[in-house]
Amino acid sequence: MQSHFDVVVIGGGHAGCEAAAAAARMGATTCLMTQSATTIGAMSCNPAIGGLGKGQLVREIDALDGLMGRMADAAGIQFRVLNRSKGPAVRGPRAQIDRKLYRNAMQRELANYNNLTLLEAEVVGLSERNGSVASVTLSNGQIVSTSAVVITTGTFLRGMIHIGAETIPAGRMGEGPSVGLAKSLETFGFVLGRLKTGTPPRLDGNTIDWSALQVQPGDDVPEPFSTLTERILTTQIPCHVTRTTSRGHDIIHQNMHRAAIHTGAISGRGPRYCPSIEDKVVRFADRDTHQVFLEPEGLDDNTIYPNGISTSLPIDVQTAFVRTMPGLEHVRFIKPGYAIEYDFVEPRQLKLSLETKALPGLFLAGQINGTTGYEEAAAQGLVAGLNAANFAKGKAPVMFSRAAAYLGVMIDDLVTRGVSEPYRMFTSRAEYRLSLRADNADQRLTPFGIETGCVGTARQVAWQKKSADLSDSLKRLKELQLSPNEAGKLGFIVNKDGVRRTGFELLARSEINYEMLASVWPDLRDVSARIAEQVEIEAKYAVYLDRQNADVELFKRDEALNIPVDCDFAAIPSLSTEVRSKLLQIRPTNMGWAGRIEGMTPVALSILAGYVRQRHSTKPSDKAAQCG
Amino acid sequence: MDTIYALSSGIGRVAVAVVRVTGPSSGDVLRSFTLQLPQERVATLRTLRDPSTGRIIDKALVLWFPGPNSFTGEDIVEFQVHGGLAVIQAVFSSLQLLGCRPAKPGEFTQRAFANGKIGLTEIEGLADLIEAETEAQRDVAIRLTLGALQTRVLSWRTDLIAMLALIESNIDFVEEGDVPALILGDILSRVSKLRSEFETCLRDGESGKKLRDGFKIAIAGAPNAGKSTLLNAFANRDVAIVSDIPGTTRDVLEVHLDIKGLPITFIDTAGLRESVDPIEVEGIRRAREQFSGADLILCLSPINLDRGDSDPIFSDSRSLLVRTKADLTKNTGHGDLVVSAKTGAGFEELLNKIYELAHNMLLTREPPLLNRDRHLDCVRRATKHLSSFTTDTTLPIEIMAEQLMRTTRELESLIGLVNVDDVLDDLFSRFCIGK
């Protein structure tokens, strides 16, 4: 084996796969190290990818030539765009995934990836030289030299599984935790916290009475995640829906004292947004039923994932409770549900590039940063991988702003505000939601990706074609015009004000769609459905997008007010102790970022701005390539 | 953080002078003067000694307000010393020796704001209170100072955020069940209630602004119609140059008066006539400019001459015809208001009429919450964001969220939670030192 790699990625989950692939695409010699190569690309919790906010992340990963979108397209067995009845900015593509197909696709992809070596090994420690990461130590004592390390160990850092009163040290069911690495991080001075998450029991589909259940079909025409996927080729199957019952809630109430979360065994905080069933029956005491989706784990797999009932109750209680649900009266468990507690690294110890402040060359991505979800992990992995490669080559880091991408919103939230519970992406976290859509992720990010060097030839070609088609289409629509009289004759109701309206302006109206315009101007039909849809979205949102763009300009103005990296926050007079300690901890590099720090008051901000102006004139802070 | 001090009472030879100190070393400062801290928040008589020499400076009342329960939120010490210049000087030198520095204008309030002890609109109220000249102005200012606007805006904001939470949960969690359903009619009626509250506030706010600036009365008329004489009579003092030569008042003169508690600004203007004198022509142009911003225009016409209403201003809806120089004739004016500056006849009647008009315009059923252009602009923009709800009931859910968010931002900038830079600079520069 090689004795030196530009980048070492520790962990083969969603963050690790994207990090390794991104670093390799950037031309860095990369080694992905995992305890077991067969678990690369494993989906440890729900068999689904995408969703609201999360679907946007998958499209952004795809726009930067990441893997998750293409792998999901190859393994998706039910595609559904969520919120389809609502506006395009809040729609989220989602798919049920065949676990085995996904894992296989990912392993195949990585096995043949240029510049990438896969290694089965447990990393037990890191070491530094001259203040920067230098090597990793494997459990067999071998030392591998490297210029940059990305740690993506998910829930493995001091992982501890809880089922009722039973506790099992594990990173995932049946796999050992990483203890050595956690200790190594502590020796570098990192502050670790504790979080928990949970997973429901897995059910045997052959023991479910399907005839009693409501069917939930996917979309008629499955919409792929990746712009490189023409269409979905896998067999599509439906999901089913059941519900909890008051009898089941009673069983939980009677046994609440036996749930791990209530015995005091767990100290970590769980996600409010993805509560366990025992949390739900307490928090929504007035509801006697909750919806439960029965999601297939694969085409040739009888395992069923009951989405909505993650639990840490003892197995006997889990079984009794689950069997109160319609269709599940005689169900057999394949695996019990459990809660898992794990260490995470307080993410305010990271830079926007996901490099740690304490140890240059060390990058962290995924659940180790306090997030939850495959998509959140993968998106961070991609950013960490790009920057690890750049670090190894002595190049400036790349960063994504809140105005450019959901992944920018997420990373900014993490490094600015930290986390108090597992962080999950939502559309409402993005203040520029109307412009950060799933449908325009490539427009927002692919050109930047090409410039950065992480986009391969196939996507570059596809993007150039789409980009040209889209701008031609918009240009044509803005040239075609109708007078009020002409419009009236065609059945479009507009004011008789003598003003000629362009096709684009007509399309902005809620009652007019692209097809109606195409019946007036048949030439409009010669574009693909994707282009037509996007043109229509741009038109419908035009007025709001103009206003949001004005906000984005203001946002960028503040982001451009650099705070030098060597700014002595401790020396600024008249700041409260609280504000000063936050500034020292987070070390924002621009005024916009400083303004988002919790507890930052408007007055403190203007004092800071005054100090920076006075002391540092206009010296640029940190050379970096910024998207958006 | 510096510890700062200021003379909070007036300057000059006064009986008692108040010196206030705020900042982290306030307690040490007090101990340096009096050896030990007095009981919190109780006026205590103490001997002040020069910290370096131990010599007695004065016998004074001292007050000790440990933070955060103080005006600035920091530790505050207040000295009430005898008002002699030498006493104040001795205290100041000692304070400087102890490492304190003199406060900049408004710095005490700025710290209170920075520490979240006082809101932006409360500071504006404080500024108004310091400048209030009439009872009605004081009334509005004290309500602002006590946080009436802040409280109202916060309650609007709470309502908006509750609506946003409902809408956002229906966007981000609707697939997961467990979210309360969004009832469109409910949102629309809450928005329309909010909007009508904004509109009432805006209407009252126009009065609030007038109350702050004063009710403007322009005095118009031909040269020598008695405009300046009338103004002097109001002011009971010579403010405008009065002579019998027509065209004397070529510029514009303002007099601020308190009429039964209402702030009234009288503006004397150049006489209206055809003229070739460039200076007089400019005076007349300025006069017309004043008319456009006036709430009331007193159109003067001497009773011994024709009414003179050939000038279009006489038929303006804001105009009130006043026949002057009643002493020159026995003519009763046929129902017009008739006054004589010389005898005082008709004056009481005119004052009553002015008071009635000003009262109707300035005093609303409840004292106004808004009283500055900044306030009105914020609420106007907020209203505009909400207006799309009623005119277009098919608003997509994400656009509803967008508009409610924008409304919230406007309200937040109104009370200084965001975008305060420009406002603050302007505001604090107007404050006196020691406030």
Domain borders along chain A are 4-198+342-429, 202-339, 457-552, 561-627
> Which chain B residues touch A90 with a CB distance below 8 Å?
171-172, 397-398
> pLDDT grade, residue A34 (50/70/90)?
very high
Nearest CA in chain B to A544: B399
pLDDT at residue B389, rounded to an integer: 85
Q: What is the mean pLDDT of chain A?
A: 91
- Write out the two tokens for A481: 């015009």
State the burial class of residue A175 (Cβ atoms within 10 Å of its Cβ: 0-12, 13-18, 19+): middle
Most confident among A1-15, B122-136, B273-287 (mean pLDDT): A1-15
Q: Give the closest-approach CA distance of B168 to chain A in angstroms.
A: 6
**pLDDT of A194-240, one tens digit each?**
999 999 999 999 999 999 899 999 999 999 999 999 999 999 999 99
Nearest CA in chain A to B179: A284
Element holding A49 (H helix, E strand): strand A48-50
Higher model confidence: residue B114 or residue B95? B95
Contacts of B393 (CB under 8 A, 6+ apart): B184, B188
- The minimal CB distance from B396 to the residues A86, A280, A604 is found for A86
A266 touches chain B (CB under 8 A): no
A52 touches chain B (CB under 8 A): yes
Query: How much of chain A, in percent, has pLDDT values that exceed 70?
Result: 98
Is a pLDDT exceeding 80 seen at residue A426?
yes
Higher model confidence: residue A48 or residue A510? A48
- The minimal CB distance from B171 to the residues A51, A427, A605 is found for A427
- The minimal CB distance from B399 to the residues A290, A544, A576 is found for A544
Please indicate whether, in this complex, the C-beta atoms of A602 and B173 are within 8 angstroms of each other: no
> pLDDT grade, residue B362 (50/70/90)?
confident
Please indicate whether, in this complex, the C-beta atoms of A291 and B176 are within 8 angstroms of each other: yes
Enumerate helices (H) and strands (E) in chain A, giving the number of each: 20, 24
> Which chain B residues touch A580 with a CB distance below 8 Å?
none
**pLDDT of B202-220, one tens digit each?**
999 988 988 888 899 999 8
> Which chain B residues touch A51 with a CB distance below 8 Å?
175
B67 touches chain A (CB under 8 A): no
> pLDDT grade, residue A621 (50/70/90)?
very low
Q: Give the closest-approach CA distance of B252 to chain A in angstroms.
A: 40
Nearest CA in chain B to A424: B172
A35 touches chain B (CB under 8 A): no
8 Å CB contact between B160 and B154:
no
> Which chain B residues touch A601 with a CB distance below 8 Å?
113-114, 116
B178 touches chain A (CB under 8 A): yes
- The minimal CB distance from B399 to the residues A87, A575, A601 is found for A87
Is a pLDDT exceeding 60 seen at residue B227?
yes
Write the ipTM: 0.86
Mean predicted confidence (pLDDT) in A65-90: 96
Of residues B415, B100, B113, the one with CA closest to residue A605: B113
> Which chain B residues touch A575 with a CB distance below 8 Å?
1
- Burial call A471-491: b when 16+ CB within 10 Å, e when fewer: eebbebbeebebebeebeeee
Of residues A120, A115, A153, the one with CA closest to residue A13: A153
8 Å CB contact between B380 and B407:
no
Query: How much of chain A, in percent, has pLDDT values that exceed 90?
Result: 70
Is a pLDDT exceeding 70 seen at residue B421?
no
Please indicate whether, in this complex, the C-beta atoms of B171 and A51 are within 8 angstroms of each other: no
Q: Give the closest-approach CA distance of B176 to chain A in angstroms.
A: 8
* A457-552 is classed CATH 3.50.30.30: no
- The minimal CB distance from B110 to the residues A83, A510, A603 is found for A603
Q: Give the closest-approach CA distance of A77 to chain B in angstroms.
A: 19
Q: Please state the φ and ψ torsions of residue A493, each to the nearest 5 degrees.
A: -90, 110
Please indicate whether, in this complex, the C-beta atoms of A573 and B172 are within 8 angstroms of each other: no
pLDDT at residue A189, rounded to an integer: 93
Its CATH class, for the domain covering A202-339, is: mainly beta
- The minimal CB distance from A89 to the residues B398, B405, B424 is found for B398
CA distances from A366 to A13, A155, A563 (A): 9, 9, 28
Please indicate whether, in this complex, the C-beta atoms of A290 and B178 are within 8 angstroms of each other: yes
Is a pLDDT exceeding 70 seen at residue B240?
no
DSSP structural state of residue B38: -
* A122 vs A250: CA distance, rounded Å: 44
pLDDT at residue B248, rounded to an integer: 58
Is a pLDDT exceeding 80 seen at residue B432?
no
Report the range of poorest mean pLDDT among A72-76, A305-309, A623-627, B5-9.
A623-627
> Which chain B residues touch A603 with a CB distance below 8 Å?
110, 113-114, 420, 424
pLDDT at residue B345, rounded to an integer: 83
Please indicate whether, in this complex, the C-beta atoms of A573 and B2 are within 8 angstroms of each other: yes
**Which CATH number applies to A561-627: 1.20.1280.50, 1.10.150.570, 2.30.29.30, 1.20.1050.10?**
1.10.150.570
Is a pLDDT exceeding 50 seen at residue A117?
yes
Classify A115 in phi/psi space as left (phi over 0), alpha (psi -120 to 50) or beta: left
pLDDT at residue B434, rounded to an integer: 56
**pLDDT of B119-161, one tens digit each?**
889 989 988 888 888 888 898 999 998 999 999 999 999 999 9
**Which CATH number applies to A4-198+342-429: 3.90.1490.10, 1.10.357.10, 3.50.50.60, 3.40.50.720?**
3.50.50.60
Q: Give the closest-approach CA distance of A295 to chain B in angstroms.
A: 14
A20 touches chain B (CB under 8 A): no
pLDDT at residue B361, rounded to an integer: 85
Please indicate whether, in this complex, the C-beta atoms of A291 and B421 are within 8 angstroms of each other: no
Nearest CA in chain B to A511: B394
pLDDT at residue A3, rounded to an integer: 80
pLDDT at residue B332, rounded to an integer: 67
Nearest CA in chain A to B176: A291
**pLDDT of A484-541, one tens digit each?**
988 888 888 888 888 899 999 999 988 899 999 999 899 899 898 889 999 999 999 9
pLDDT at residue B365, rounded to an integer: 73
Interface test with A, best of B398, B399, B431 (most A CBs within 10 A): B398
Report the range of poorest mean pLDDT among A338-342, B12-16, B366-370.
B12-16
Residue A149 bridge partners (DSSP): A8, A362
Of residues A113, A104, A126, A183, the one with CA closest to residue A10: A126
Please indicate whether, in this complex, the C-beta atoms of A90 and B171 are within 8 angstroms of each other: yes
CA distances from B85 to A475, B17, B90, B107 (A): 77, 9, 9, 23
Please indicate whether, in this complex, the C-beta atoms of A602 and B418 are within 8 angstroms of each other: yes
B396 touches chain A (CB under 8 A): yes
A218 touches chain B (CB under 8 A): no
> pLDDT grade, residue B422 (50/70/90)?
low
- pTM exceeds 0.90, yes or no: no
pLDDT at residue A126, rounded to an integer: 93
- Write out the two tokens for B102: 């003199």
Interface test with A, best of B121, B166, B172 (most A CBs within 10 A): B172
Q: Give the closest-approach CA distance of A306 to chain B in angstroms.
A: 13
Report the range of poorest mean pLDDT among A247-251, A470-474, B111-115, B410-414.
B111-115
> Which chain A residues touch B176 with a CB distance below 8 Å?
291, 308
Nearest CA in chain A to B114: A603
Q: Tell me if the bond preceding A484 is cis, omega within 30° of 0.
A: no
B114 touches chain A (CB under 8 A): yes
B110 touches chain A (CB under 8 A): yes
Interface test with A, best of B174, B175, B417 (most A CBs within 10 A): B175
8 Å CB contact between A251 and A320:
yes
> Which chain A residues touch B408 with a CB distance below 8 Å?
none
CA distances from B354 to A614, B42, B143, B294, B351 (A): 54, 49, 26, 13, 5
Interface size between A and B, measured as CB pairs under 8 A: 82
